[in-house]
Structure 1
Amino acid sequence: MKNFNMMKKLLALTLGAAMLLAVITGCGKKDTAQEPADDQQQQQEEQQPAEPATLLEQIKAKGKVVVGTEAQYAPYEFKDLDANFAGCDMWLAQQIADSLGVELEVVDMAFGGIIPAVQSGQVDLGIAAFTNTPERAEEIDFSDLYETSAQLLIVKAGNADTYSTKESLVGLKVGAQKGTIQSQLIQSALPESELFELEKYPALALEVQNGNIAGLVVDQAVGEALVATSNGALEVSNFTFTAEEASFGKSVVIAKGNEDLVEAVNEVINKVTADGSYQKAYDEAVELAASLGL
């Protein structure tokens, strides 16, 4: 009996020791398994690519460049019969996209909203025949110039000589698209005239035809297109702005602090202006716009 009790005690001790060993071993295995998992998570975090730091890097990462424009300003930007974006500015936008190796997305918006959209990041670039001015340069960055254009006063047919001097326009309404350099030009060069602004040039042209305003100020190419498609209702005034008053050049609009993107855009602009391809695109856009009656 004594031996039997001793055997029971030994058996109990053996089972207890085995259970204790199992618990210790189990705990050890849990810790060992956890360590590689932690290492693996750390390695995954280290291998994750860093977020694109600059706007240029973001454009390349998303695979597209978003351009804001106002597509009623032929021959620079307009839409063809299939509602596709056309014009020499849109051609330039495509060259920039191709150079960056990304797709082009164009957003049509009111001209006055393009610079705020660039500043807020809604669009990456603004390409809409923007005149490079010191005032605008305080808010955004400009690319190099890709085109220069004279400014015309467009008047009702028969008034080319009537409104050919600043004195002849005193007290009269002279139109420009809202938010454009032409509005500023009227205020600075024709201070005794009354500035009249609308959102779109076709509406301004109609105001001139109806005799509601003396004329409208616009880029040469756009003005000539308005005259050509007016069925004889409009003509170019014999009024001339001096070089000091209206020596304008056009640039791409880019948000401040993106020097690498400015440099990339400038490379394209310098190439297409030097090799004559932008001028060719400009001439083709003038022809297309004329054929569409724009």
Structure 2
Amino acid sequence: MKKLLTAALAMAMALSLVACGGSASSAPAASAPASSTSASSAAASAEESLVEKIKAKGKLVVGTEAQYAPFEFKDEKAQFAGCDIWLAQQIADELGVKLEVTDMAFDGIIPAVKSGQVDIGIAAFTVTPERAEEIDFSNVYQRDEQMLIVQKGKEDTYTTKESLAGQKIGAQKGTVQSLLIKSALPDSELFELAKYPALALEVANGNIAGLVVDGAVGEGLISTNDKIAVASFKFDPAEANFGKAAVMAKGSDDLAEVVNKVIDKVVADGSFETAYNDAVALSKTLGI
């Protein structure tokens, strides 16, 4: 009897241990759904659209280079102004968020857009195939011809590409004007600086033969510097009649839809042109 009782007790203990082991081994399996839910949550977060992210943070961050009147500059109170800033505000209003403008070097804007440092770049960007490989363009909101600015008194010295051969021609670093000089004036020497006022000074002092700039910006530079003027030389429109557009990171389709909606509206109703004219007038009163 004692032997039978001992055997029964041993069997009961063994069954108890097996039961405990089964319970312990099933614990990780029970936690698996929670882990799966967490992964799904992370995936959903990663798939959140750019517009949703902008609305969640309550602001649209725009990168620009605020020394390019009348498109972007600072007024007498050091506030951002210009028709591009006006356009940025229209986009922010459409999204229902605040506008935050970040001033940076022009050639740093596209990298900032690509890295997500800013949501969009608005700085009179010219549409080019090379840039389109890196970022997405919005619809065009303005077209502008390019002009050559030279030292006052030398307007008729440079009339042809041949007359510019061997001469230093200036452009803002990282702009389409630099590319234009390389392609349309291959026998001239490209001279680059970060800011247009500095380039205008180089022309006025006779250190470089001229500088290439958007027509609107060139007119502004000339109005504030009586030592420079527009050259008689004219670019072929096929080479230098460019469209301006905003830039966004590749795949920002939801944001592009909002931006294009705003651009199409302000171009069609003439409000962008009004903003442009207002910016020209303001920049002239500020002497920039």
- TM-score class, shorter-chain normalisation, is 0.7 to 0.9
**Residue deviations 1:140-163 (CA, integer Å, cap 9, x gap):** 000000000010000000111001
Equivalent residue of 2:217, what SS? helix
> What is the aligned partner in structure 1 of residue 8 from structure 2?
none
**Residue deviations 1:100-157 (CA, integer Å, cap 9, x gap):** 0000000000000000000000000000000011110000000000000010000000
CA distance in 1, matches of 2:142, 2:52: 28
CA distance in 1, matches of 2:54, 2:81: 22
Q: TM-score, normalised by structure 1?
A: 0.83
Shift of 1:251: 0.3
The reply to whether residue 68 of structure 1 matches residue 60 of structure 2 is no
CA distance in 2, matches of 1:249, 1:233: 29
> What is the aligned partner in structure 2 of residue 244 from structure 1?
238
> What is the aligned partner in structure 2 of residue 260 from structure 1?
254
Q: For 1:124-139, list aligned pairs within 5 A.
A: 124-139=119-134
Coordinate RMSD, CA, aligned: 1.7
- Structure 2: 5+ residue stretches without partners: 1-30
> What is the aligned partner in structure 2 of residue 3 from structure 1?
none
Q: For 1:35-50, list aligned pairs within 5 A.
A: none
Q: For 1:104-253, list aligned pairs within 5 A.
A: 104-230=99-225, 232-253=226-247
CA distance in 1, matches of 2:274, 2:232: 28
Determine which of 74, 78, 83 is the counterpart of 2:73.
78
**Residue deviations 1:163-208 (CA, integer Å, cap 9, x gap):** 1211111101000000000000000000000000000000000000
- Aligned residue pairs total 251
**Residue deviations 1:199-248 (CA, integer Å, cap 9, x gap):** 00000000000101000000000000101110x21100111111111120
CA distance in 2, matches of 1:165, 1:157: 18
Q: Please identify the structure whose Cα radius of gyration is greater.
A: 1
> What is the aligned partner in structure 2 of residue 281 from structure 1?
275
Shift of 1:260: 1.0
Shift of 1:258: 1.1
> What is the aligned partner in structure 1 of residue 24 from structure 2?
none
Q: TM-score, normalised by structure 2?
A: 0.84
Equivalent residue of 1:226, what SS? helix
Letter in 1 for 2:132: A
Equivalent residue of 1:159, what SS? coil
CA distance in 1, matches of 2:56, 2:259: 17
Equivalent residue of 1:217, what SS? strand
CA distance in 2, matches of 1:57, 1:147: 28
Letter in 1 for 2:257: E
The reply to whether residue 97 of structure 1 matches residue 71 of structure 2 is no
CA distance in 2, matches of 1:161, 1:263: 47
Identical amino acids, percent of aligned pairs: 67
CA distance in 1, matches of 2:222, 2:241: 22
**Residue deviations 1:242-281 (CA, integer Å, cap 9, x gap):** 1111120000000001111111100000000000000000
CA distance in 1, matches of 2:137, 2:76: 32
CA distance in 2, matches of 1:262, 1:247: 24
Provide runs of 4+ in structure 1 moved above 2 Å. 48-52
